[in-house]
Amino acid sequence: MNNNQNKIQNPESQVPKTPQMNDRDFLNDILSYEKYMTASYSTAMNEASHDALYQEIHSIFDETKNVQRELYTLMFQKGWYSLSPEQSQKLQQAAQQFTGYMSQFPHNPPMQ
C-alpha cells in the first residue's frame, strides 16, 4: 500500500529546490518554535505563584497558540503539513488505555 494514499493533505505548493531556505522551510522553522514556546508558557503558567503573573503569561500563551494555529493552517493549505489517519482499532485501544489511567487517579471523576 502506498504511504502517500493514507496522508491527509492538500496538494503541495511547489518550492524551489535550492540550498537556501524557502517559504516552507521558514514556516516550518517558525511553527516548531511556536510549538516550543506554547509548551514553555504552559509550564510557566503551571508554576506561576502570583495571579497577575499567571494572567499575563496566559495572555501571551493565547497569542502564541493562535499564531501557531495560523501557521499550521497556512502550511496545511499549501500542502506542506500532512496528517496520517489512524485506524479505528488503535483509537479504541488508546481510549481504553486512557480510561484505565483515569481509574488510577485519586479523584477518579466519572466518565461521560
Q: Which residue has the higher pLDDT, 58 or 98?
A: 58
Q: pTM of the full predicted structure?
A: 0.65
Residue at 12 is within a domain? no
Q: Quick: pLDDT tens for 5-59.
A: 577 777 778 777 878 888 889 999 999 999 999 999 999 999 999 999 999 999 9
Residue at 66 is within a domain? yes
Grid cell in block for residue 96: 481504553
Residue-level pLDDT at 2: 45
Residue-level pLDDT at 42: 96
Read off the pLDDT band of 61 (50, 70, 90): very high
Residue-level pLDDT at 111: 55
Domain span holding position 58: 22-102
Residue at 72 is within a domain? yes
Residue at 34 is within a domain? yes
Grid cell in block for residue 53: 503573573
DSSP for 17-63, written as a single string: -SSS--HHHHHHHHHHHHHHHHHHHHHHHHH--SHHHHHHHHHHHHH
Q: How many domains does the chain have?
A: 1
